[in-house]
Amino acid sequence: MACADSKVDFDTIPLIALNVTCRKKLGLYLNPRTTVASDWMAVAEVMGFSYLEIKNYEDTKNPTLRIVEDWQVRTEATVGKLLSILTEVERNDIVEDLRPLIEEDVRKYCAYQKKKEAADPPVQVPVVDSCVPRTPERCGITLEDDPEGAPELFDAFICYCQSDIEFVHEMIRELEQTDHNLKLCVFDRNVLPGSCVWTITSELIEKRCKRMVAVITDEYLESDACDFQTKFALSLCPGARSKRLIPVVYKSMTKPFPSILRFLTKCDYTRPCTQAWFWGRLAKALSLP
């Protein structure tokens, strides 16, 4: 990262560096529909969103904020790329007016990164030196792992809240104990205790599981663990170019469906007319190569 240089390269700074104030002001410029200047729709099109995705954003209160949040999980989403898109749609006025705010946000982001890099390393290290032979943290993390052989692999990682554990049990019965014969990674059942939760979760989602199923409920929206797992899975498939993440809704919700998943086709168990096809559709999606 070019944060160490006197002149920062915006193309190396991820979009998450921009704080809420900057994003809100961006919305003030782009949200109003106008015939004399490009608005949020033009920006979304250049970002690579499809026509149907853009139409869905029309119903949101702040479409600019939503497209920025959904776009930032993609690998190409940097501060520099955003500025180039604004220039491409001929909104140099926004670039000029927001540049001081953007530069301040980037400065704070770089300062935070430097401080984090200079901090003392965590107490729990990837390799436990006291073990003979030495055991890497990411080996022997699930019940059927063989530290001297191949790691245990799964068809899907299940992202869920404790309050939804009964539905997870039903999922195990329908997908593992039937002709579908799938293998699910359920954290409370398969993962051995004692390791760093975030490290192990990332390892399982990225390297051990072909897919991730996110059980979406009101409780899911309040869970830091589910939020981390979902955003990590999305970062592995920018723009949903692969069916890596599958949202599942099994009961009615009082809160809006998460905007970051709006562009993904969900598997909805709450619709009586489609319940008969629910498990077959989900199993087929998880069985794809």
Is the residue at 124 inside a domain? no
Q: Helix (H, G, I), strand (E, B), or coil: what is residue 142?
A: strand
Q: What is the pLDDT of residues 186-199, one digit of tens each?
A: 999 999 998 788 88
Residues of the chain where predicted confidence (pLDDT) is lower than 70: 1-7, 116-139, 147-148, 238-243
| Cis amide bond preceding 193, omega within 30 | no
* pTM for the structure as a whole: 0.54
Residues 143 and 283 in one domain: yes
Nearest by Cα to 157 from 31, 246, 29: 246
Asked whether residue 72 falls in the same domain as residue 176, the answer is no
The reply to whether 158 and 273 lie within a common domain is yes
CATH code for the domain in which residue 62 is found: 1.10.533.10
Is 95 in the same domain as 158?
Answer: no
Same domain, 93 and 14: yes
Same-domain pairing of 148 and 259: yes
Task: Report pLDDT for 138.
Answer: 54
Please give the Cα distance from 159 to 201 (Å, whole number): 10
Q: Are 232 and 213 in contact (CB under 8 A)?
A: no
- 130 inside domain: no
Verify that 180 and 280 share a domain, yes or no: yes
**Count of structural domains, the chain:** 2
E strand map for the chain: 127-128, 135-136, 154-159, 184-185, 209-215, 245-249, 267-268
Is 256 in the same domain as 159?
Answer: yes
pLDDT at 247: 96
| Residue 129: per-residue pLDDT | 45
Position 123 in a domain:
no
Q: What is the pLDDT of residue 44?
A: 93
| pLDDT score at 262 | 86
Range of the domain at 11: 2-118
Nearest in space to 174 (alpha carbons), one of 197, 152, 190, 156:
156
pLDDT at 134: 41
Same domain for 283 and 188, yes or no, is yes
Q: Do residues 223 and 283 both lie within one domain? A: yes
* pLDDT confidence of residue 147: 67
Q: Which of 86, 118, 150 is the last residue of a domain?
A: 118
**Residue 127 confidence (pLDDT):** 46
| Domain co-membership, 11 together with 78 | yes
| 143, 277: one domain | yes
Q: What is the pLDDT of residue 150?
A: 78
pLDDT of residue 195: 79
Look at residue 185 in the predicted model and tell me its pLDDT: 96
